[in-house]
Structure 1
């Protein structure tokens, strides 16, 4: 292989390496490192706004007594002209009180049912279970509060 051919291959490999490194750096900048779980799915439709999916995000905070903050989002689907966007966002669990794992979600035509399981932050032997119902329009019903 000629020197010019080798030089071209090295430039291509270097370009791929730069793109890979830039992609990894962008991914790190987009995702909060404290996010421990994201579950998305289901379907909602709201007059005047559109349609999309539900998304539940669990964010851990603290280091000695780790607690979770859980947020429900109503995500409007993307199309050729616009990116996806969040049209409603509500906090299901405030940080500081409970440490929960990945949410379990059941989807239906009427919305979504979210179940969270974990422990009380300052009483590690105390198990907690929480249930929420999500509906179009950013509506949340607490079926079973975490402390009950």
Structure 2
């Protein structure tokens, strides 16, 4: 094999390694490693803002006593003029108190109903279920608080 041909092969391999490393670091920045679940769907419309979907995110925190934070977002649909963006964000469950699983969502024409269930962080035998109603405009009604 000639030196020139060997150099081209090494150059291609190096290029592939650089692309692989760039791809891996790009992927790491897309999703927070503490995000445990994301559920998106439904439809909302708000005068003067636009329309989009609801998104519920469950984030895990801690290591010895793991707890969850649950956030509801109103995601504005992207258009040819720009990317999708979050127009409202509301914390449904504060971190440090409960450890919950993936949310269950039921969508309707006037909003969404969200249910999350899990356990109390410092009393693992104590189960909890929480219910929320979401509506356009970033509105949240607590139908059943986690501690009830």
Common fold by TM > 0.5 = yes
Alignment length (residue pairs): 148
Verify: 1:136 aligned to 2:139, yes or no: no
Residues 68-127 of structure 1, C-alpha deviations (whole Å, 9 max, x = no match): 110000001111221111000000000111000011111111111111010001100000
Partner in structure 2 of residue 146 of structure 1: 146
Q: Alignment partner of 1:116: what SS?
A: strand
Residues 42-70 of structure 1, C-alpha deviations (whole Å, 9 max, x = no match): 11111100111111111111111111110
Residues 119-147 of structure 1, C-alpha deviations (whole Å, 9 max, x = no match): 00110000000011111100001111100
More displaced stretch, 4-13 vs 112-121: 4-13
Partner in structure 2 of residue 30 of structure 1: 30
User: Following superposition of structure 1 onto structure 2, how do residues 1-148 of structure 1 map, counting pairs within 5 Å?
Assistant: 11-148=11-148
The two structures have a TM-score, normalised by structure 1, of 0.90
How far apart, in 2, do the equivalents of 1:42 and 1:110 lie?
Answer: 9
CA RMSD after TM alignment: 1.8
Q: Which runs of 5+ in 2 are unaligned?
A: none
Residue 21 of structure 1: CA displacement? 2.1
The two structures have a TM-score, normalised by structure 2, of 0.90
